[in-house]
A = this chain, B = another copy of it.
């Protein structure tokens, strides 16, 4: 059994990258591995938005990530520097930046780049999903 970290740069619904990452996570778990961390960077941070409202007949990426976090205890980490400038903020950051609304809720978690470096160093595998 290996521990995996996935690095997701792809924005939701614009390219296939987020779908590929989700499919990979599910296939890895099916083979008995642990997907411990998904780190969202670059436009990948938009995957963490709690405000997605896709058509009923399309996959709801936010819900799928959330389900992965809950069922596989995968940490869903969002780069705070990449997120803040793109409108990806949780309640705490919204208050700090005087914003009336927010777009991120648990299990997604805003963190620093240090957590990505940590994931690279401590997991058995890192797989990157570009836009």
Which A residues have a C-beta under 8 Å from some C-beta of B?
Answer: 11-14, 42-43, 46, 49-55, 58, 62, 84-89, 93-94, 97, 99-103
Contact = CB atoms under 8 A, between A and B. Distances in A.
A42 B53 CA distance: 15
A99 B54 CA distance: 12
B51 A87 contact: yes
27 contacts: A11-B11, A11-B43, A11-B86, A12-B85, A12-B86, A12-B87, A13-B86, A14-B42, A14-B43, A14-B86, A46-B87, A49-B86, A49-B87, A50-B87, A50-B100, A51-B87, A51-B94, A52-B84, A52-B85, A52-B86, A53-B85, A53-B89, A53-B93, A58-B85, A101-B101, A101-B102, A101-B103
Nearest to A94: B51
Contacts of A89: 51, 53
Contact of A86 (B46, B50, B55, B102): B46
